[in-house]
Each structure stands twice: as C-alpha cells, then as structure tokens.
Amino acid sequence: MTFQSRCRLLLLVHLAVFISVAVRSQQKNDTLTQLLDYSRPGEAHQRLAAIEGSWNFQDARRAYVKGVLIRKAIFEGRFYSVEITGGKLPLPVANGIMKEDNYRSLQWEGYDNARKIYITTSINNHIGSNEEIQQGSYDSAAHAFTYQWESELLPGYRVRNKRIVHLADPNTYTEEYFEERNHAWVKVRELRYVRQPGN
C-alpha cells in the first residue's frame, strides 16, 4: 500500500469515526428533546385544571359524609396535589387503639403523556394501608373522567373498583364509586362537589 493510499484510508477511518460520533450525539440530542417534550403539561392536563381549587363535598345519601377538597397545581401544572378533609370518625392507630379524628386523604393526579392515561395515586388515614393507583381516561362528549383499579384491603380479598368524575359545570362536579360484584358494576357511593365562593 502506497503512502497516499494509507493516508486516504486513515482519512476515511477518521471521517467514519467523526460521522458515527456526530450521529450518536444527534440521537442523544433528539432523545433529550423528546423526553423534555413528553414531560410538558398539555391539553390533557388542562382538563384537570378545570377542577383546580377548593370544593365542599357531601355524600348524596349520607348527609354526615361531607368535607372539603383542595386541589392545587404543582410543577407548572404537570401534576395536581389533592388534600381531602372529612368529618370525625374512629381511626385505627398503633397497638390496636382507636382514635377519633378527621378523615384525611392525600392524592396526586396527573396525565401520563407517553401512555396516554390519567393517573391518580391515593392514600388515607381510615381504612387500608395500601396505596391506590387509579388509571383512567377522559370522555369529552360526557365531560367525565373514568378511573379503574384493584384493591386488596384484606389478604386475598381483591375488589375491582371504578370511579367516574362527571364535570357538570365550572362550579359543580360529581364522583360516583362502583365495585364489581358478580361481573357487574354496583354503585356504592356518590359525592357532589360545589366550588367554594371566590376561587
């Protein structure tokens, strides 16, 4: 191989390495751009923004089941924190003791852009040591979110659940809770939410 041939070969190798590095760098930049774009809040998140604020709620059949829900946007509207405070009731605490206190629940709501599903994660201080992870969709014609999940509050006692959040108007919405029994959905609770004045 002549000196010129070796130089050409060396030049081609360097060029191939340069192109390979440039392509990998561009792919990394493209991946980072996609990751950032899929992390942004969008139209789906705006549907949750419609129910941001402070709300009074009451059970449709049990007047004593009532309280306040506060929903706040976090991380520029990418997620929503939800804090629920209800009436007083006996709560299980350590060592078999019961303590009377207000019902409380904490939730995180959001929309998973990659999987195209709504997610609600929920914990509370009353029944269950589990963390509920609800997955759902939005029906624009019905103005309703529908979530489903499975709970296991006792070992081996699994229950499929469904929650429908129906947006009636900017100041009112309802939540209907269902359990699957004998392959059919049975409504177990309905809550009505009214926006507190001034928010």
Evaluate if residue 177 carries a pLDDT over 70: yes
pTM, 2 dp: 0.82
Tell me the pLDDT band of 150, cut-offs 50, 70 and 90: very high
Evaluate if residue 83 carries a pLDDT over 70: yes
Q: What is the pLDDT of residues 23-55, one digit of tens each?
A: 565 566 688 888 888 889 999 999 999 999 999
Residues whose CB is less than 8 angstroms from the CB of residue 197 and which lie 6 or more positions away in sequence, other chains included: none
pLDDT of residue 15: 47
Evaluate if residue 18 carries a pLDDT over 60: no
Evaluate if residue 17 carries a pLDDT over 70: no
Percentage of the chain with pLDDT > 90? 68
Is 106 in contact with 83 (CB distance < 8 Å)?
A: yes
For residue 82, how many other CB atoms are within 10 A of its CB?
20
Q: What is the mean pLDDT of the chain?
A: 88
Q: How far is CA 35 from CA 2, 64, 72, 75, in A?
A: 49, 47, 25, 16
pLDDT of residue 29: 67
Evaluate if residue 128 carries a pLDDT over 70: yes
- The residue count of the chain comes to 199
Tell me the pLDDT band of 64, cut-offs 50, 70 and 90: confident
pLDDT of residue 155: 93
Question: Which amino acid is residue 6, in one-letter code?
Answer: R
